[in-house]
Amino acid sequence: MAKTIEVKQAEESCSAGLQYAQKHLSNPPKDAVLCCEGMCLKGETARRAANLIAHRLVPDKAVRICHGGLLEKSGGMKQLVTKAKRVFILEGCGMACATRIAKGAVPGLEPHTILTGRFFQYDPGVFGVDEVPEDRINLEARKVAEQVLEKYFQ
């Protein structure tokens, strides 16, 4: 079994993502925020926390990055990451998928990887987002976002 995989850059691009990147590239550099995009409860909590940080709590300091956009040849998201003051990756678990994708897409990248599981308490046997009420997921995501802001944005 291979220890590495090759991922080709996409020929296609997301026009809305490119417009979003261009808008943010015209401003002074911000901190870039990426996250786990896992379908499990931990990944969903990390994703919601990243969105809270960049879109709601400190949009003047942070820009949200789509790691799929890092694989586009046109590179709007990649430009945001390379121009960012700092890069934060919120990981739902220790597999650190988003960190590995980002480092593969942007050689030399040295992000601040934050394992978000230390900020929330879920039953370890729970996996699916359908196993926990929405308001609980939102509450835990807010806890994560507030802890990240307290540690890195104050």
Question: Under a CB-based contact definition with an 8 Å cutoff, are residues 84 and 74 in contact?
Answer: no
85-108 pLDDT tens trace: 999 999 999 999 999 999 999 999
**Is pLDDT larger for residue 9 or for residue 35?**
35
Fold of domain 15-149: Rossmann fold (3.40.50)
At 125, phi and psi to the nearest 5?
Answer: -85, -5
- pTM listed for this prediction: 0.95
User: Which tokens go with 50?
Assistant: 């990243």
Q: For position 66, what pLDDT does the model report? A: 95
Q: For position 74, what pLDDT does the model report? A: 74
User: In the predicted model, is pLDDT for residue 73 greater than 90?
Assistant: no
User: Which tokens go with 2?
Assistant: 């291979």
Mean pLDDT, rounded, for 128-137:
97
Burial label, 29 (beta-carbon count in 10 A; 0-12, 13-18, 19+): middle
Mean pLDDT, rounded, for 9-31:
93
- Pick the closest to residue 113 from 127, 101, 129 (CA basis): 101
Average pLDDT, the chain: 94
